[in-house]
Amino acid sequence: MLNCHKTTELISQGQDRSLTWLEKLNIRFHLLFCDGCRHFKQNMQDMRYFVSQHFNRK
């Protein structure tokens, strides 16, 4: 099982590249048990959405 450091690193990398199916599976498994990493993932998704909305308005 991934630790939190590796999980957040992969979540961040997933914003810029396609993750392998094994990386995705490991992240999903970790997120089942870790509230902090679930919140981190949600915050990353929210930030990406709000930034894209800001630049799409211009």
Per-residue pLDDT of the chain (58 residues; tens, 9 = 90+): 899 999 999 999 999 999 999 999 999 999 999 999 999 999 999 999 999 888 877 5
Question: What's this model's pTM, rounded to 2 decimal places?
Answer: 0.85
List the domain boundaries for the chain: 4-56
The contacts of residue 14 (CB under 8 Å, 6+ apart) are 23, 24, 27
The contacts of residue 29 (CB under 8 Å, 6+ apart) are 1, 2
